[in-house]
Amino acid sequence: MPPALPAIPSAEPAADPAAGCTQPDSAVLRTAWEASSLRWLYLDLNSYFASVEQQDNPALRGRPVIVVPVRAETTSAIAASYEAKAFGIKTGTPVWEARQKCPGIRVVDARHDRYVEMHEKILDEVDRHIPVAHTWSIDEVSCELMGPERLKENAVALAHRIKAGFRERLGECIRCSIGLAPNQFLAKLAADMQKPDGLTMIESHELPGRLLPLPLRDLPGIGPNMERRLNAAGIHSMADLWALDPRRAREIWGSREGPAFCQRIRGIGDYTQSSARRSITHEHVLPPQFRDAGAALLVARRLATKAGSRLRRMGLLATGFSLKARFETGGRWSADFRLTETQDNFVLLDAVTRLWDAMLRETGQTGKGARPARFLKVGIGLHGLAPESQATLDLFGGGSGLAQSPARAAARTKLSAAMDALNGKFGKDTVHIGALPGHRADFMGAKIAFNRIPDRAEFKE
């Protein structure tokens, strides 16, 4: 086992011949850690979804595995084990292609509730060693190094203790890569440098040397579009980016993000994370046997009532509703609908009906010569969120299309809340409005996105 952090020496005076006085050993130690450039530890779980499946099912360990949102050859992997990655399979690889590359690959249904449960255990384990400062996604967190933790040897020992804690308390398959650096941006970059189970450190005095061999795309925040924009501006290498003038950077990015980005690669400044919720979105990939318009509409209605339940649980109101659809042919459709401030299931379902009818008309699925479409995915969104305390009653229903007195609106909201209580006590969909989708969709809408981790309560809505 790696050594524990050394205790801060007692303040017994030690002779300081140069100064002709005494200085506590703790002051010497404090000077050392204050001089250290290490400020952050960034932890990135390796192939998280697939690793959880391998940990829970020993028969999957050491084997190529992909996790999928729905059982269909045309769907794509949302996670791949490192054994699968060795065959060139990655997130986004279609199932049929994965089978071609690796005939023996195991295809596993996603269990988002289990990944959230394990995520909470991971946070608890990290907190045993150092407080979690920011949770960036289901598989990435950062921790601020304080005091003696900032000393190089102590930061490395801390990282090893976290890794050992994962092995002992979570299982041998739950591995992580850890980066240590002056800011979270560089710590995340360091964590990406060695996978799986890596530990990489970047110190200020190593800059820009440690960065120069890297391609631009290795930097967090530079994707294919940003890379093309940089190339068009004559920035083709990390050395070009390091030499970029702040004013020129602002022109290339088109915002203050340009100069800020150039500072972050130098270990100056950092990410910011807003806790304000701006929207609630849910979407669902349809199984092949349930891709007709009727089945897709039932899914859209179920997503809307689920979102309404989340609004009420979080004490929020929505002023906008959106509906989107993706078809097997590759076509897409989306539209927005204005709402009076609401968390009422009936208002949300009315919005679904209105937008759905508009979508069928605009895509030629109704009337003479109708061409029924096959749906691949449907999704809904609630926007313009505000706390209940900021509600403004509307006598005429506003954009919702449902004329209602304040008393009637309050009664419907009360009914929706009563349904939430019954479903919470006896199981989701114990009571519901209208028909339910024909296929089993236990986690409908409660999906993990890069910047959103569902509450465990969502899996019961």
Band (209; pLDDT cuts 50, 70, 90): very high
Alpha helices in 78-197 (DSSP H): 82-85, 95-101, 112-127, 152-169, 184-193
Instruction: Say how far apart CA 297 and CA 306 lie, in whole Å.
Output: 14
Instruction: Residue 82: count other Cβ atoms within 10 Å of its Cβ.
Output: 18
Over range 287-313, report the average pLDDT: 90
Query: Of all helices (H) and strands (E), which one includes residue 45?
Result: strand 40-45
pTM above 0.75, yes or no: no
Q: What is the pLDDT of residue 36?
A: 84
pLDDT tens-digit map of 389-413: 666 544 444 445 454 556 666 777 7
Q: What is the pLDDT of residue 205?
A: 95
Active-site choice (53, 140, 149, 283): 140
State yes or no: is 12 an active-site residue. Answer: no
Bigger pLDDT: 236 or 69? 236
Instruction: Say how far apart CA 75 and CA 59 lie, in whole Å.
Output: 24
Residue 58 backbone dihedrals phi, psi, to 5 degrees: -55, -25
Q: Does domain 279-447 have CATH number 3.30.1490.100?
A: yes
Band (436; pLDDT cuts 50, 70, 90): low
Band (449; pLDDT cuts 50, 70, 90): low
Q: What is the pLDDT of residue 29?
A: 57
CATH architecture of 27-206: 2-Layer Sandwich (3.30)
Domain ranges of the chain: 27-206, 216-264, 279-447
Bigger pLDDT: 227 or 457? 227
Q: What is the pLDDT of residue 452?
A: 53
Over range 270-289, report the average pLDDT: 76
Bigger pLDDT: 347 or 450? 347
Asked if the model's pLDDT at residue 429 lies above 80, the reply is no
pLDDT tens-digit map of 368-395: 778 889 999 999 999 988 887 666 544 4
Band (189; pLDDT cuts 50, 70, 90): very high
Nearest CA to 65 among 115, 109, 118, 108? Answer: 108
Give the three-class secondary structure for 282.
strand
Over range 195-200, report the average pLDDT: 96
Asked if the model's pLDDT at residue 460 lies above 80, the reply is no
Residue 313 backbone dihedrals phi, psi, to 5 degrees: -65, -35
